[in-house]
Amino acid sequence: MILPLSIAHLVALGVLKLVIILLFISPPWAALPLGLYVLFCAFAPLFPRFGFFLPILSRGSRKQPRVALSFDDGPDPEVTPRVLDLLDQHGVKAAFFLIGEKAQAHPELVREILRRGHEVGNHSWHHFPFLMLKGRRTLRQEIAKGQEILKTFGILPVAFRPPVGVTSPALWRILIEEGMFCLNFSRRAGDMGNRRIRNLAARLLDKVRPGDLLLLHDVRPPEGGTDYLLQEFEAVLAGLKARQLEVVPVSTLVGRQIMKREAVSGSAAEAFYDDLAATYDHEQFETGVSLARRTEQALFEARLPALLRGGERVLEIGAGTGIFTLPIAAKAGEVLAVDISRNMLNLLEAKARAAGVLNIRTLAANVEESPLEGPFDLVCAFSALEYMKDLSSLIQRLGPQMAPGGRIYLLTARRSLFRFFTQMGNAMRQGLWLRARSRREMTRMLEAAGFEVVSIKGHLLRCLISGGMLLEVEARWPDAGD
């Protein structure tokens, strides 16, 4: 469920509580926090790096001596070709955030940007400076129309840079629905769209730091001339080299795709995990979520000998990068690994090749919509059911695809007080509310579909006020003799 929860919502809740308290203590003072909140909401969007209304990506890690270049407001027939030549001379790749109507007017320039290996992002259709003050419908049209023209070049931008870097409360939901994210910048020269290019390089280089995403413009300056502008760009590249700052592609700096090479829209979850694929294993075992993942591993390893004895056919839902797939394949006859993210499955396939495992078949699809190819002796899922829109219907569909006596083994989010806070955190990160379910719900869905429930247990942070954050579910499909 799309739920674009943000810092603004949490602050608003705190302000509301404070207002209620002040109404009982001193009513005239109750208007103060409310007024400050409104004032803060008015000015927060003017800061391109401040993710008050939505998550904003604007730079990379400060730990490595590298930066990235981005160009806004093109393509421009006078400036863009010369910028491309300059970048080629220095062996540098950049990201071009294109205005839709200009891309439509100069398709040859868009093709040339892509041919030379640069990345392309969406910068709206018209580039209204005050786009974020317009209605939700206009904002949606500006983004969608920009996407449509850029799709004609065989790409799908997933990064959107709002005009002037200004955001609004309406932006995040629209981006989630488009499978996109907001990418701004961390360093600019105050060139005002190339209206102020005198000493541009000096102003930019004076404050540049490792990890910065630099903002420039590939449009003809009203004053100063294109030759002078290109000299300043040359000075920027030379200055970065002198400071021993490597210029890398924007996607490399920020760790997320700027565009896809296939112009096919996917879900918000697909876009999120496509971007996360390269660092997924590290996140799962080296960050705060490792406790849950290691608990799942321990539970699964304990049950694996009883679930698989050799030669079975297995369906794994939400296989990801293969954290559980390879151990399953070691004991199974065949594994069908399904995931919404092609990038995740590519990593799974690479692991399988490296290990010499030949019995894994991958399918990039939404298991709720794709046909199922049974019979399966085992169906399993590990923290993947939270994304399902209608888990009950999926379980109903699984029944006829089960081999007699086949098993379902699921590890999924359990509804609890502690889980609620992780759901909130995910809503602020992904904009999606991941579903958690109770033991009673899981029992009801399985029995309604004809499965026999073997066991349902709660795990992880069990205490007096919580039955745990994780449900371990095992069920059996009746065999012919039952």
Q: Is 123 a catalytic residue?
A: no
Q: Residue 77: how many CB atoms within 10 A of its CB?
A: 13
185 neighbors 48 (Cβ within 8 angstroms): yes
Specify the DSSP class assigned to residue 318: T
Measured between alpha carbons, how far is 21 from 436 in angstroms, rounded to an integer? 33
Tokens coding 12: 């608003």
**How many helices and strands (H and E) does the chain possess?**
18, 20
Radius of gyration from C-alpha coordinates of the chain? 26
How is 433-465 classified by DSSP, letter by letter?
Answer: ----B-HHHHHHHHHHTTPEEEEEEEESSEETT
Q: Which residue is catalytic, options 217, 274, 339, 459?
A: 217
Q: Residue 238: how many CB atoms within 10 A of its CB?
A: 13
Tokens coding 73: 């407001």
**SS3 for 390?**
coil
How far is C-alpha 172 from the chain's CA centre? 12
Q: What is the SS3 assignment for 9-62?
A: HHHHHHHHHHHHHHHHHCHHHHHHHHHHHHHHHHHHHHCCCCCCCCCEECECCC
Q: Is 218 a catalytic residue?
A: no
Specify the DSSP class assigned to residue 132: G
Measured between alpha carbons, how far is 441 from 430 in angstroms, rounded to an integer? 25
72 neighbors 216 (Cβ within 8 angstroms): yes
Q: Which residue is catalytic, options 72, 76, 212, 275?
A: 72
Which of 263, 359, 345 is CA-nearest to residue 308? Answer: 359
Q: Residue 130: how many CB atoms within 10 A of its CB?
A: 9
Q: Residue 10: how many CB atoms within 10 A of its CB?
A: 12
Which of 282, 298, 284, 377 is CA-nearest to residue 336? Answer: 377
How far is C-alpha 363 from the chain's CA centre? 20
Which of 167, 199, 198 is CA-nearest to residue 4? Answer: 167
Measured between alpha carbons, how far is 344 from 476 in angstroms, rounded to an integer? 29
Handedness of CA 39, 40, 46, 52 (dihedral sign): negative
Measured between alpha carbons, how far is 302 from 327 in angstroms, rounded to an integer? 12
Beta strands in 319-416 (DSSP E): 334-339, 360-364, 376-382, 402-413
Residues carrying an active site annotation: 72, 217
